[in-house]
């Protein structure tokens, strides 16, 4: 009964053994077993009752065979929480590797009965309907799989950054500056205390749109930093790829002076996550594949293979992207709603077409016009584009469009001030950020990746709302 983890010996492991633990190291055949979980299916016949049990720790269930069937309490339905004591863990028959036998020597009891949940868990429902019952939705095993997947992908990223000597940092969510300068801020207000002047102790404060500015400060101390943080955008884009609250993975690297260092690193990061999808049977890929329909499973596998298959993803400049888009538009102007023009932002339809139709794979688009991007990006010297461009990139992927946005950062104090003035931005809230550029400044760069967009892309889900437990979107803060 001694549990040893990481060299620390505990007399007794404090939690009940869960189904994942059991399948990871199955007990010897014919040994006694106790389980707690929820019923995912029942079949009762004259001589025997079958109960499928899940506990949320894995996509796998445990098949319980109750003989005689009257041992099964009447209240047991799909969704009921139950406990089994002194069941017998035996080798199963056919496809079933193991089963738990519940006999007169065992007990099977109800922990929590089910009232209205039963029909919800049994039937097939659309994701749109499931979003209206956030308190129950995730109890469906096929829905829970995406949340485990989310956790697995995060773990793969934690390991990836750790292996590459990054420090995970925790920048603030409340901030006084608009990092992107796009004015898409939610304001922080005190709800009740009038003496706080309703705002943040008399000062203006916002929910962060990106933690980049704080991350740049930490980069000067820790060299390679990253974070996975909630970000908030007050955009009214009600699309299948926008959330008002989303998690952004941001990384910042000291002494980087070329955009291709950043694009290569981004590619390595995503490919290393995908290689894990194939490697770990109990986590990662299998979590989704085992609960997905045949078609969904096939499209996910195809996508993962395609992402790993190409040795190096394409990289083109914004100027070349516009040329490619214009050629398509000039051949057939019904291909896009908006005419692609140098100097305009790439619309979502352009991004999806370039990645999905033209390259049929992820593609980096670099060197956008200055006016399309934020003040902190390094302006490219020379070049024969119609107007100056910045040393930046977006990673565009099929079906979704932009997955990553990144750049080299301007490290010279004077140049940053000139750009802030030229854009008529408010200098005051950025003074703290600018000051560091007078003290040991250094070339650096980084990027931000929408975590839900990555999950949406890898899971082939149509809607970003279905890869986050409680989506906040335009007009929707349901619970």
250 lines the binding site for ligand 4AD (CB under 6 A): yes
The structure tokens listed for 280 are: 């770990």
62 lines the binding site for ligand 4AD (CB under 6 A): no
How far is it, in rounded angstroms, from Cα 254 to Cα 161? Answer: 14
Please identify, using beta-carbon distances, which residue of 235 and 264 lies nearer to ligand 4AD. Answer: 235
Binder of ligand 4AD out of 233, 350, 437, 444 (CB under 6 A): 233
362 lines the binding site for ligand 4AD (CB under 6 A): no
242 lines the binding site for ligand 4AD (CB under 6 A): yes
Interacting span for ligand 4AD (CB under 6 A) from 16-24, 82-90, 350-358, 396-404: 396-404
396 lines the binding site for ligand 4AD (CB under 6 A): no
Binder of ligand 4AD out of 149, 161, 226, 246 (CB under 6 A): 246
Asked whether the beta carbons of 55 and 38 are under 8 A apart, the reply is yes
430 lines the binding site for ligand 4AD (CB under 6 A): no
Please identify, using beta-carbon distances, which residue of 121 and 370 lies nearer to ligand 4AD. Answer: 370
Please identify, using beta-carbon distances, which residue of 285 and 450 lies nearer to ligand 4AD. Answer: 450
Nearest CA to 183 among 421, 374, 347, 428?
Answer: 374
398 lines the binding site for ligand 4AD (CB under 6 A): no
Q: Distance between alpha carbon 63 and the CA centroid of its chain, in Å?
A: 32
Interacting span for ligand 4AD (CB under 6 A) from 79-87, 100-108, 188-196, 446-454: 446-454
393 lines the binding site for ligand 4AD (CB under 6 A): no
How far is it, in rounded angstroms, from Cα 13 to Cα 4? Answer: 9
- Report in angstroms how near the CB of residue 110 gets to ligand 4AD at its nearest: 42
Asked whether the beta carbons of 205 and 174 are under 8 A apart, the reply is yes
- Report in angstroms how near the CB of residue 314 gets to ligand 4AD at its nearest: 18
How far is it, in rounded angstroms, from Cα 317 to Cα 366? Answer: 5
Please identify, using beta-carbon distances, which residue of 48 and 478 lies nearer to ligand 4AD. Answer: 478
321 lines the binding site for ligand 4AD (CB under 6 A): no
Please identify, using beta-carbon distances, which residue of 285 and 448 lies nearer to ligand 4AD. Answer: 448
- Report in angstroms how near the CB of residue 465 gets to ligand 4AD at its nearest: 10
Please identify, using beta-carbon distances, which residue of 304 and 451 lies nearer to ligand 4AD. Answer: 451
406 lines the binding site for ligand 4AD (CB under 6 A): yes
207 lines the binding site for ligand 4AD (CB under 6 A): no
How far is it, in rounded angstroms, from Cα 98 to Cα 403? Answer: 42
Site string for ligand 4AD, 148-187 (x = CB under 6 A): -------------------------------xx-------
Number of residues near ligand 4AD (by CB under 6 A):
23
- Report in angstroms how near the CB of residue 156 gets to ligand 4AD at its nearest: 18
Binder of ligand 4AD out of 283, 362, 446, 471 (CB under 6 A): 446
403 lines the binding site for ligand 4AD (CB under 6 A): yes
Residue 394 CB neighbours (<10 A): 23
Please identify, using beta-carbon distances, which residue of 35 and 269 lies nearer to ligand 4AD. Answer: 269
- Report in angstroms how near the CB of residue 248 gets to ligand 4AD at its nearest: 5
Interacting span for ligand 4AD (CB under 6 A) from 39-47, 107-115, 240-248, 380-388: 240-248
Interacting span for ligand 4AD (CB under 6 A) from 11-19, 196-204, 337-345, 399-407: 399-407
210 lines the binding site for ligand 4AD (CB under 6 A): yes
Please identify, using beta-carbon distances, which residue of 35 and 408 lies nearer to ligand 4AD. Answer: 408
Please identify, using beta-carbon distances, which residue of 419 and 452 lies nearer to ligand 4AD. Answer: 452
Asked whether the beta carbons of 395 and 404 are under 8 A apart, the reply is yes
Binder of ligand 4AD out of 405, 419, 461, 465 (CB under 6 A): 405
Ramachandran bin of 444, using left for φ above 0, alpha for ψ from -120 to 50, beta for the remaining angles:
beta
Binding site for ligand 4AD (CB under 6 A): 179-180, 210, 212, 233, 235, 242-243, 246, 248, 250, 402-406, 446-450, 452-453
């Amino acid at each position: 009964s001694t549990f040893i983890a990481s060299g620390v010996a505990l007399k007794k492991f404090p939690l009940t053994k869960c189904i994942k633990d059991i399948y990871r190291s199955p007990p010897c055949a014919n040994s006694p077993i106790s389980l707690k979980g929820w019923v995912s299916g029942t079949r009762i016949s004259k001589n025997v009752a079958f109960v499928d049990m899940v506990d949320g720790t894995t996509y796998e269930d445990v098949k319980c065979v109750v003989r005689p069937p009257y041992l099964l309490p009447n209240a047991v339905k799909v969704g009921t929480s139950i406990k089994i004591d002194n069941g017998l863990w035996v080798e199963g028959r056919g496809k079933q590797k193991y089963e738990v036998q519940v006999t007169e020597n065992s007990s099977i009891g109800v922990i929590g009965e089910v009232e209205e949940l039963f029909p919800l868990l049994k039937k097939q429902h659309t994701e749109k309907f499931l979003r209206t019952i956030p308190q129950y939705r995730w109890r469906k095993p096929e829905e829970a799989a995406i949340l485990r997947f989310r956790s697995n992908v995060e773990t793969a990223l934690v390991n990836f950054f750790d292996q590459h000597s990054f420090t995970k940092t925790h920048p603030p969510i409340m901030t006084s500056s608009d990092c992107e300068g796009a004015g898409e801020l939610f304001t922080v207000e005190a709800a009740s205390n009038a003496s706080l002047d309703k705002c943040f102790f008399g000062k203006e404060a916002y929910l962060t749109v990106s933690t980049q500015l704080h991350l740049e400060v930490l980069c000067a101390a820790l060299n390679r930093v990253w974070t996975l943080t909630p970000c908030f955008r007050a955009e009214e884009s009600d699309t299948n790829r926008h959330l008002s609250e989303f998690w952004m993975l941001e990384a910042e690297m000291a002494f980087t002076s070329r955009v291709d260092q950043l694009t290569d690193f981004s590619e390595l990061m995503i490919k290393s996550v995908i290689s894990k999808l194939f490697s770990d049977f109990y986590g990662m890929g299998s979590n989704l594949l085992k609960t997905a329909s045949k078609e969904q499973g096939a499209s996910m596998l195809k996508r993962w293979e395609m992402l790993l298959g190409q040795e190096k993803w394409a990289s083109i400049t914004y100027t070349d992207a516009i040329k490619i888009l214009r050629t398509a538009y000039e051949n057939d102007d019904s291909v896009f709603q908006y005419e692609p023009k140098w100097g305009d932002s790439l619309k979502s339809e352009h991004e999806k077409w370039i990645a999905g139709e033209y390259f049929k794979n992820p593609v980096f688009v670099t060197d956008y016009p200055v006016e399309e991007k934020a003040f902190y990006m390094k302006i490219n010297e020379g070049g024969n584009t119609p107007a100056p461009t910045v040393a930046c990139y977006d990673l565009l992927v099929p079906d979704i469009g932009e997955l990553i946005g990144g750049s080299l950062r301007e490290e010279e104090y004077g140049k940053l001030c000139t750009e802030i003035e030229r854009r008529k931005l408010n200098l005051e809230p950025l003074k703290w950020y600018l000051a560091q550029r007078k003290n040991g400044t250094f070339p650096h760069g980084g990027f931000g990746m929408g975590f839900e967009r990555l999950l949406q892309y890898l899971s082939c889900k149509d809607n970003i709302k279905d890869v986050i437990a409680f989506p906040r979107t335009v007009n929707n803060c349901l619970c």
